[in-house]
Structure 1
């Protein structure tokens, strides 16, 4: 289950599956000034780097992992389909992981205890997949969704951990919802060809979460194991950052996960 929990001034929508703790952040409780107010977790939007680091520290503290700030992994997201894998928490492995993530990745599969992973969003779809031996955090914009990046991450997680995807828990975080996401006729046609007519919520209205659930199903994750509370970044712009609602100038909320050893 996902539960909305306030930790001092930081509000998380969080879940725990075995040793894996994961959460989707809201936009309040941080130190960033407008237009990034206040819990901006993105380092690429023009915010003060010191404010971003403090905001990330606050999120980890709320998740009970403040002691792991120096191990935090945050990829350079490029709207691609690369899935990075983190297998160890030793210094050399983390250094190699940071180098790979700097080159670009939109999903991270982590098998290492005590290594938090954080990805940023402002309308794109956050996905966290958890099992007994690891987790994946996925950034699924329209390009990644069309490329089935969620399914790719689920398959990598299954291969690396030996766990059956039928036992996975998947969480879809706040994003732009189907009745808010108007796209081109060409893009609707591409998604309909890939996922069926159900991905179209109306004339030129695209349902990204429908496509993500379909891709996860193809990877062996049961529909009943995918939880999507349908939280809107556009309608709830007071709680979440929204690229569309804020006309392209805004901070980023996050999906974050860690497996404690």
Structure 2
């Protein structure tokens, strides 16, 4: 059963599944515990929002240390998120193979499937939906903004993860991290209609307000992931800027919290 609990490690507050399902460590970071100054205060993990590079590097080190992976900073995979549906596969920690996968991710990707132990993956968010999927001995991390959500990147990522490790969707656990909630997410009538046509009317609970949680869970269900196997953080980033960054609530000038996942050495065959 997927579940998320809040804990603090080394001053960094995380939402995590302490059971480490499938040998995978996963966490969604909050915004406190870092070294960045306003408007990026304080644990900004995003390198493309205007913060100082040295501060972002230190924040990433602290985030990895909080999940017991400080020594793996040189292996960290951080895609350039482009609001698409490209999925990168990381199959080896061997330097040449890892360098090739990192280059592909940095060229533009919004999901990473990882079967290699000792390779942490980080994706960054400030209202969009973070999704972590766990299979026995493998994981995937996806960035599902509205474009990725309507392109069903969570479904595509789940199918790619199953294909990579030869498991069935019923074996997957899914974690939907902090993102903007429906009450805070007003969109155009046209976009709301597109989502209702794609996922059903329940994703527009009130006129022009979009429920990205419902859309992502629907996409996962289409891939065969049981809704009972999905854990959701139900705190809206736009209403909790004391805990999370919010592009919408902070007028575009803010940092990025993260979704981090990795497997320890020797756990890829669990």
Once the two structures are TM-superposed, the CA of residue 163 in structure 1 deviates from its matched residue by 1.3
CA distance in 2, matches of 1:163, 1:133: 10
One of 6, 27, 30 as aligned partner of 2:8: 6
Matched, 1:60 2:60: no
Once the two structures are TM-superposed, the CA of residue 231 in structure 1 deviates from its matched residue by 1.6
> Normalising by the residue count of structure 2, what TM-score does the alignment of the two structures yield?
0.95
CA distance in 2, matches of 1:11, 1:139: 21
Once the two structures are TM-superposed, the CA of residue 229 in structure 1 deviates from its matched residue by 2.7
CA distance in 2, matches of 1:138, 1:62: 21
Q: Which blocks of at least 5 consecutive residues in structure 2 are unaligned? A: 266-270
Which residue of the partner structure matches residue 149 of structure 1? Answer: 153
Q: CA RMSD in A?
A: 0.7
* Residue correspondence of structure 1 range 1-261 to structure 2 within 5 A: 1-15=3-17, 16-261=20-265
Once the two structures are TM-superposed, the CA of residue 18 in structure 1 deviates from its matched residue by 2.6
| C-alpha distance after superposition, 1:198-257 (max 9, x if no partner) | 111101000111011111001010010011131210111100000011100000000000
For this pair of structures, how many residues does the alignment match?
Answer: 261
CA distance in 1, matches of 2:62, 2:169: 32
CA distance in 2, matches of 1:176, 1:147: 18
| C-alpha distance after superposition, 1:176-207 (max 9, x if no partner) | 00111000010011111101111111010001
Q: Which blocks of at least 5 consecutive residues in structure 1 are unaligned? A: none
Runs of 4+ in 1 over 3 A off after TM superposition: none
CA distance in 2, matches of 1:134, 1:57: 23
SS of the equivalent of 1:206 reads: coil
| C-alpha distance after superposition, 1:82-125 (max 9, x if no partner) | 01111111001111011101110000000100100000000000
Once the two structures are TM-superposed, the CA of residue 133 in structure 1 deviates from its matched residue by 2.1
